[in-house]
Structure 1
Amino acid sequence: MRGSVYYQSAVLTKVIFVEGSKKENRINPNHEQYQCISSFKTMESYRNVWNNFFNYLKEHFKLKNCELINDDHIKSYIEYKIEYYPSKQYLEKITSALGKLEVALNKYSKDKYEIPIIYDFKIRQKLLRNAKDLKLVANNYHNRVYSDANLIIQHLNSYNHQLAASIQLEGGARSEGVTLIKEEQLKGFKIDNISKKTVGVIETKEKGGKVGDVLVSLTTYQKLGNYFTNNNTSTFKIKYQDYLNDIKNSCEKLNINYQGSHGFRWTFAQNRIRIYQKFTYTYEQALQGVSWEMKHFRANITEHYLGK
């Protein structure tokens, strides 16, 4: 399917939205309105999720045709959402919307092709169950700070994963800021305005296209620079799921509660607040400063990482 994200979601909306459709028709497998949506409000909510999902695929997979979506894309998107510790209700809405996307794509394909494409996104249900079982969704505040982040990093099996985790811990980068780093993103050294120490600067583009500097130790910065030189490459790349599995295995070995890769970002936030206050910044100044460093805007967002 060609067209913008919003055009494609509009086409699929027309396939599945039947205003005023009777429930008896929507639950009848033999009726043409089977599994359709009759509520405008529900359809609007689901379409917003579709748009967000399609934009995610465009940015992370360079995928511009929704007909090419498969369960790997569904898995990646849901895991991406889980990393930001969503509410249980929000994650349930996402998985429901993706379920209706499956229905819409199957209906669209059946009408368009003699041999239709078959879409099966049932992996979304497994991921939702796992997230609930592992308490990766929020019913209330859940502290995701690692008790000994450096020890976890030392026990990661992959050197590249150790490097990625160090960047998250020291600079507060999101996962998308460390799973793919190009050599051109290394911007040299500078004096950290807060600690007055010399640090390495990595420019990252993360959630929502936000561009900014991630400040890391000289050791970590030099390791990343050496990676490019020693491997004769201009790209540092790791697989997100392999990265999570390595972190999880390390936590299990050490009997430390697993908090995903985002746990390193939480730990950064609390550590960085302490550094601000050590150098005589007020609590309010520390909140705002850390918020900007984490590519947020409002100071009170930082309080989420502090349990307030």
Structure 2
Amino acid sequence: MSNANGIGQSKAETRNNSNIRGENGHAVSDKAHSIKEVQNLRSVATQYINYVKENYSGKVAGNINKESAKAFLKAKALEVKGSTLNTYTSLMQKVSENLNKDHIGTLNRQDIQNIKQELKNDYTLSKEHINRAYDNTQAIQEQMRHTSMSLSTDLQVEAGLRANDAINSDKWHINEDNTLTISDSKGGITYTTAPISPELLNRVEEAKEMGYKVNYTEYREALKEAVQNTGQEYNGTHGLRYSFAQDRLDELRQNGYTENEAKGQVSLEMGHSRLDITDHYTSF
């Protein structure tokens, strides 16, 4: 991000000094020149790196390439509208240029331009949604009981935590109403979960006292094996968040919430910055 931060720098001057050419052959800047653009660039870069971590084995740097970028952007094409997808591809071009400066991976701007053209040729993908929820989370939880990381799975299933939040007890604050406040989550946000069961709460308290922390890669691999042992398709750690969102939405509606009220509550409990993100988890 230090390479890409162009706040305070003239965009025109940066472009004039650049040897990078866009699709129209004109010089382009590889920097983000506004606070919003820097934030968006950081978000896209983080999402891409997390996608690589979750879906590819080995070191992250070794998987920064056209293949993983194409898979990432195709996954995004299933989630977001066309204008947002264009923003993703534009920002990924800047990501690729700045990774190149540090000699990380083999991804380059031309790769992203080629991927962008492929997405345009098959644009119907952008209107589809994939339900990544698991059919039987209880079976997955039972399989994870054989590991030392089952608490993380239970927190994802019962409270909808992101994997990175569920593996680090330093992020957890226990509230009197049996909810958890999660600090320093994705994008630096803090959010408060749905209430969790007394049994899980006791385990959380014990884990915090012991300084519970789990390696993300080890957790992901253990979860993948657990899912496969149940005969289900592995949908990543994020699949547990999908399952939570849909189960929690049903629970709130049964308790008298309107559809919009329920989605709004789920959005807060999952730490989403926008309601349309929650819609993606719950609308199928």
Pair in the same fold by TM > 0.5? yes
Classify the secondary structure of the residue corresponding to 1:86: helix
CA distance in structure 2 between the partners assigned to 1:99 and 1:226 by the alignment: 43
Q: Is there any run of 5+ residues in structure 1 with no aligned partner, and where?
A: 22-32, 61-69, 106-118, 130-137, 191-198
Q: Which has the larger radius of gyration?
A: 1
Alignment coverage as a number of residue pairs: 239
Classify the secondary structure of the residue corresponding to 2:100: helix
CA distance in structure 2 between the partners assigned to 1:73 and 1:48 by the alignment: 24
Classify the secondary structure of the residue corresponding to 1:186: strand
Does the 8 Å CA contact 1:172/1:264 hold for their aligned counterparts? yes
Matched with 1:204 is: 183
Calculate percent identity across the aligned residue pairs.
18
Point out the structure with the larger strand share: 1
For 1:219-230, what aligned pairs fall within 5 Å after superposition? 219-229=199-209
Does the 8 Å CA contact 2:253/2:259 hold for their aligned counterparts? yes
Matched with 2:81 is: none
Classify the secondary structure of the residue corresponding to 2:144: coil
**Deviation string for 1:258-281 (max 9, x for gaps)?**
111111111111111111111111
**TM-score of the pair, normalised by structure 2:** 0.65
Does the 8 Å CA contact 1:18/1:36 hold for their aligned counterparts? no
Q: Is there any run of 5+ residues in structure 2 with no aligned partner, and where?
A: 51-59, 79-84, 116-124
Classify the secondary structure of the residue corresponding to 2:246: helix
Does the 8 Å CA contact 2:267/2:278 hold for their aligned counterparts? yes
For 1:1-308, what aligned pairs fall within 5 Å after superposition? 5=1, 9-10=5-6, 19=16, 39=26, 43=30, 48=38, 51-52=41-42, 71=61, 86-87=76-77, 96-105=93-102, 119-122=103-106, 139=126, 140-156=128-144, 159-182=147-170, 185-190=172-177, 199-214=178-193, 215-229=195-209, 233=210, 235-307=211-283
**TM-score of the pair, normalised by structure 1:** 0.61
Matched with 1:109 is: none
**Deviation string for 1:41-89 (max 9, x for gaps)?**
5635798589517995xxx9xxxxxxxxx828969xx89x96xx52376
CA distance in structure 2 between the partners assigned to 1:148 and 1:280 by the alignment: 26
Does the 8 Å CA contact 2:100/2:106 hold for their aligned counterparts? no
CA distance in structure 2 between the partners assigned to 1:200 and 1:246 by the alignment: 26
Does the 8 Å CA contact 2:137/2:243 hold for their aligned counterparts? yes
Deviation at residue 188 of structure 1 after TM alignment = 4.1
CA distance in structure 2 between the partners assigned to 1:296 and 1:269 by the alignment: 11
Classify the secondary structure of the residue corresponding to 2:271: coil
CA distance in structure 1 between the partners assigned to 2:273 and 2:232 by the alignment: 32
